[in-house]
Structure 1
Amino acid sequence: MEWDDYGQLKPTGPATHRRSEAFARLCPFSPEATNEDAIAAARFPDAPQHDARLGRYTSCHVGAVAEAPFRERGSSGGMVSWVAAELMRRGEIDGVLHVHPGTPGQPFFGYRISRNEDELLAGARSRYHPVHLAEVLDQVRATPGRYAVVGIPCFIKAVHLARAQDPVLAERITHMLGLFCGHMKSARFVQSFAWQLGVDHDRVRAVEYRLKDANRPANWYTAHLTLDDGSTVQNEWFHLADGDWGAGYFQNSACNFCDDVVAETADVSFGDAWVEPYSSDGRGTNVVVVRAPLIQRLIDEGRAEGRLDLQPVDADFVADTQAAGFRQRREGLAYRLTWAKRGIRPVKRVAPQAKGIGWRRKLVYRTRAAISRDSHRMAWLAARTGRPQLYLGWARRTYAVYEGLTYDRGRFAPLFSRIERVAGRRKDG
């Protein structure tokens, strides 16, 4: 995996290898790869529940870890680190593959293997940065033991696909802990932070995407940079030109063709409870979808012992916490699939469909796709010319259009009225 000009990781190597049947079965977005439904059916044959949005599952919960220091150290309710730590405490695993801050001179983040609770907690928090699994999977191959993997949906699926081809990985990677995902960003996102916070990107030594503050709502994200002299700068995302996650700035293009929001192939999946009153609780709150019997026992015992403060919820509650993500990956994906004309045509569990989607929603999806594509190009041009305002000015203008479509007609009311009149005349014949 190597960096391209847009700050994204891409596979490299001989063209014959990248066109091979084995590679086609390994890539989670390949039309040749086994899909999430088939993987989950093989992994969780006894899961009693099924939902079109969540996949197979045993139970769903909302809440947080009551046992210190997991909630305090995590971005949300601390459940990811708690489950991983509990698996280690009980001797179920010898290590956890998850994302850590980088070391000096290295990328800001990368996968590492934690073998004790201190190392595990050092890798807590959200990391919206490109990473890859290649090196840690090599370490797993070289070092016997049992391992858990923490990852977003496509990473968990990729590990399943790798296990299907590699008996060593199949034996040693025993548990999958999934993270709900909206989309992945490129490394240019950090550069944009630096531009908007008035610092030189080359001086940035550490990044915190979600600086936690118990006195502020959990969904008030704060970007926080640590510089080479130890000083820090920060600002809330809603003050940034590209701080609206749903607009898709710096989104990886593959994310436009993903239909898994909640890591359906993971033994247990974790997300943020983005509904009230939980989204206003700055301490952070998780929603949890359990699929594997062992994880269900851990959670049941943790609740009974008072170590977990979790309440059962249904599938609709979980889906409501990720409503925007499901719109993007269901209705939006159906519409985007009608555009696919060139290159590899993805095979998804969502059928191509444009009928029944209103013109305004179609404009939203078109605008998001344009933002996700052109933000890479504009940021590259701004960095290449040393003129950050090329990108930032473009980002503010495009966001004004996006905001007009998604939130309030505002300054675009005359334009929308005209579009509606034209659309009405066409509908009438």
Structure 2
Amino acid sequence: MLSTFALDTQVIQPELCTGCGACQSLCPYWGSHEGRTLCFFDCERTDGRCQQFCPRMPSDLDALRKKFFSEDTLTQEIGPFRGLYLTRAADPGIRRHAQHGGTMTALLELALKEGLIDSAVLTKSEGGLNTRSVLAVTPEDIRSCSGSSFQIAPTLAVLNEALKADKYHKIGVVGTPCKTLAVYKMMAKPLPDNDNNADHIGLVLGLFCGWGLDWNGIHDLTAKYADADKVSHMDIPPSKYHSLVLREENKEISVNLDEVTPLVRPACHGCTDMTAEFCDLSVGGARSADGWDIDKGWNQVIVRSKKGEQLLTLAREKGILEFKEVPETGLDKIKNASLGKKRSGLKYLRSLTGNADDLGYLNPSAKLFENL
């Protein structure tokens, strides 16, 4: 039997809460402040949507994958897979303000223009700090959300508000792996008589993610090296650079990663998904033999569903995206990196439970992690 108490003891207290916002805007009991999820009142309900949607409450991920994806596309390393591509926005205006190649912004604008979505739930990064979640309904709204942040905003609270309002019926969602998993838990309708209009979710786009950072910690660290109000961009290059890069006006500032990693949210240590396996397509920064100076202007895209495949094909046909050849070792590198994330996540969860056979919230999905 589940209740708010279960969320508190199984998710909040062991610091597994990701701050995704899936439990919020459903009732007055849950909220957030500066990346922290807050429970304002105790609740005795055993059938609440908050615990059913939470990505850190026990889930049968194998059943969820088979419900939404073709079984012949499922892989252990990176989940559903229909293809890997290297892309960037054809519009230099999009690329100029993008985190990398602007692929996500270009795809969202195309989906809105073509009527595949009528709105999109996004995170507005403000240069990487003081993030907030928004419902974008115009191309201008979408472009204003270009860039990334390592702070975690409760994006899905805005999704819940939009679904409840019943104004938009093809809502797009962009999120990190924990957020997209929560969206698929919503779409699975665990409470069919109280599904919050889950059928109005039209497209789910995922972001590659290693981890998120403590909200105040990254703000303080940024202020140590730059004027936080003038930072327009922050990024973490490939591991060999061992740095966080801040862009302040026309200069770049490199911060040693040793100062950054202590700020990683505890919940992220228990995550086993690097590539957002529950979505229509996933987007991350490119990795190739061309080197970081070139790669930072491109994205790698994993297509997972027919809907994602159709959108990417349309973007190619209309010249919305530019494509280049994927390196021969590109897929293997992603798979190996993803497996590394899974193993580190499992190790952390086993340390929390104190039992090598107890994977915590992943227990219903243990067979997906056999031999890892």
Whole-angstrom distance in 1 between the partners of 2:115 and 2:269 = 39
Where does residue 249 of structure 1 map in the other structure?
Answer: 262
The yes-or-no answer on 1:42 pairing with 2:60 is no
Distance 1:126 1:87, change over 3 A: same
Whole-angstrom distance in 1 between the partners of 2:332 and 2:43 = 42
**TM-score, length of structure 2 as denominator length:** 0.75
Whole-angstrom distance in 2 between the partners of 1:151 and 1:93 = 16
Q: Report the CA distance between 1:57 and its aligned residue.
A: 2.1
Where does residue 292 of structure 2 map in the other structure?
Answer: 279
Distance 1:335 1:294, change over 3 A: closer
Whole-angstrom distance in 2 between the partners of 1:211 and 1:52 = 28
SS of structure 2 residue aligned to 1:69: helix
Indicate which of 253, 259, 283 corresponds to 1:235: 253
Which letter does structure 2 place at the counterpart of 1:134? A
The yes-or-no answer on 1:131 pairing with 2:161 is no
Distance 1:97 1:276, change over 3 A: same
Where does residue 347 of structure 2 map in the other structure?
Answer: 335
Where does residue 346 of structure 1 map in the other structure?
Answer: 361
Q: Report the CA distance between 1:118 and its aligned residue.
A: 1.3
Aligned length: 327
Conserved? CA contact 1:270–1:289, under 8 Å:
yes
Conserved? CA contact 1:9–1:130, under 8 Å:
no
Which letter does structure 2 place at the counterpart of 1:130? I
Conserved? CA contact 1:63–1:311, under 8 Å:
yes
Distance 1:90 1:182, change over 3 A: same
**TM-score, length of structure 1 as denominator length:** 0.66
SS of structure 1 residue aligned to 2:314: helix
The yes-or-no answer on 1:185 pairing with 2:213 is yes
- The RMSD of aligned alpha carbons is 3.6
Q: Report the CA distance between 1:114 and its aligned residue.
A: 1.1
Please, which runs of 5 or more residues in structure 1 have no aligned partner? 227-231, 357-429
Whole-angstrom distance in 2 between the partners of 1:222 and 1:276 = 21
Q: Report the CA distance between 1:305 and its aligned residue.
A: 4.4
Conserved? CA contact 1:271–1:287, under 8 Å:
yes
Q: Report the CA distance between 1:151 and its aligned residue.
A: 0.3
Indicate which of 108, 114, 118 corresponds to 2:130: 108
Q: Report the CA distance between 1:89 and its aligned residue.
A: 0.8
Whole-angstrom distance in 2 between the partners of 1:191 and 1:86 = 37
SS of structure 2 residue aligned to 1:330: helix
Whole-angstrom distance in 2 between the partners of 1:89 and 1:346 = 39
Where does residue 194 of structure 1 map in the other structure?
Answer: 223
Indicate which of 28, 42, 55 corresponds to 1:15: 42
Which letter does structure 2 place at the counterpart of 1:39? L
The yes-or-no answer on 1:117 pairing with 2:117 is no
Distance 1:277 1:344, change over 3 A: closer
Where does residue 318 of structure 1 map in the other structure?
Answer: 331
Q: Report the CA distance between 1:304 and its aligned residue.
A: 3.9
Residues 228-286 of structure 1: per-residue CA shift (max 9 Å, x gap): xxxx9862234x6524xxxx321111111111111111011001123321533165211
Distance 1:206 1:139, change over 3 A: farther
Q: Report the CA distance between 1:39 and its aligned residue.
A: 2.2
Whole-angstrom distance in 2 between the partners of 1:50 and 1:236 = 39
Whole-angstrom distance in 2 between the partners of 1:38 and 1:276 = 37
Distance 1:322 1:219, change over 3 A: farther
Conserved? CA contact 2:123–2:134, under 8 Å:
yes
Conserved? CA contact 2:77–2:338, under 8 Å:
no
The yes-or-no answer on 1:54 pairing with 2:81 is no
Conserved? CA contact 1:108–1:206, under 8 Å:
no
Whole-angstrom distance in 1 between the partners of 2:101 and 2:48 = 41
Answer with 1 or 2: which has the greater Rg: 1
Residues 61-85 of structure 1: per-residue CA shift (max 9 Å, x gap): 1132223433222111111111111
Distance 1:278 1:271, change over 3 A: farther
The yes-or-no answer on 1:71 pairing with 2:72 is no
Residues 117-145 of structure 1: per-residue CA shift (max 9 Å, x gap): 11111101111112102144213321422
Whole-angstrom distance in 2 between the partners of 1:267 and 1:309 = 19
Conserved? CA contact 2:272–2:344, under 8 Å:
no
Whole-angstrom distance in 2 between the partners of 1:2 and 1:54 = 31
Conserved? CA contact 2:88–2:298, under 8 Å:
yes
Q: Report the CA distance between 1:207 and its aligned residue.
A: 4.4
Which letter does structure 2 place at the counterpart of 1:159? V
Moved more, 55-64 or 123-132: 55-64
Please, which runs of 5 or more residues in structure 2 have no aligned partner? 1-30
SS of structure 1 residue aligned to 2:211: coil
SS of structure 2 residue aligned to 1:112: strand
Percent of paired sites with the same residue: 18
Conserved? CA contact 2:77–2:336, under 8 Å:
no
The yes-or-no answer on 1:89 pairing with 2:117 is no
